[in-house]
Structure formats: C-alpha cells, structure tokens
Amino acid sequence: MTDKLELDDSQWREKLSPEQYHVLREGGTERAFTGKYDQNKQAGEYLCAACGQRVFDSARKYDSGSGWPSFTAPADEDVVEQNRDVSMGMVRTEVVCSKCAGHLGHVFPDGPGETGLRYCINSAALDFEPEDGAA
C-alpha cells in the first residue's frame, strides 16, 4: 500500500508550475500535441509530477496519434486509481495517481494489444526518468 501524500492548496501551488497545478489539482487537460512527452521515445520511467511515484513506463508507451502520451497499462496495478468522470458532457474514466490523487488523464477502451486500453495522459502530469545510460 502506498503512503498517501496530502498537501493543502497553498503547498500544491508552491510545489507545482501553474500548468501542472491546473492539470494535476484542477483536472485540466493540456492542448493536444503540445506536451513534452507525446513524442518521447527514450527508455525509462514516467513519474507523477506532483509526488514522484512511478506511474507508467516506456515499455507500455505507444504512439496513439492522439497528441498525448499514451500507454497500454500503468507501471503497476496499484499506482493509479480510476474514477467516473461526467464532465464536458460525456462519460469518461479519469486516471489519478494513487499516492497524491493528482489528475493524470483518462483511460479509453480503444487501445492496442491484450489490454485494449489507451491511457491518455497529460505530459504536464509527468516527469520522465531515463533508464541508466539512455540519456
């Protein structure tokens, strides 16, 4: 079980950039094709930008053409949680970090491979740590 990270609003604002705060704490979405990790092909791990928990890895990343980093599955089962999202006039499944409850993006049932899932994640919600020697 992951220890939860709980900060008050002023602490989150101090820790995160304005864009990160908007995405991670307010459930915002960055514009398609603008995120720094959409086209990243390096081997490594993707961490929650708010708390540093490993949430995705490059082995499960693929180019969905959506304009956001896309993954077939999280790094481990327990690192993300899913919530029903009925905002924007549609029903979606929100993906949040299990440690800090930061909004990462959404998951859709239109992905490739055995999972059939597409985790559509905001670059602003992520930090990237390259594999040793993959810089």
Tell me which residues are annotated as active site: 120
- Contact 113/25 with Cβ under 8 angstroms? no
CA distance linking residue 22 with residue 77, whole number of Å? 26
- 102: closest CA among 50, 61, 63? 50
Counted residue by residue, the chain has a size of 135
CA distance linking residue 104 with residue 96, whole number of Å? 5
Mapping DSSP to helix (H, G, I), strand (E, B) and coil, where does residue 33 land?
coil
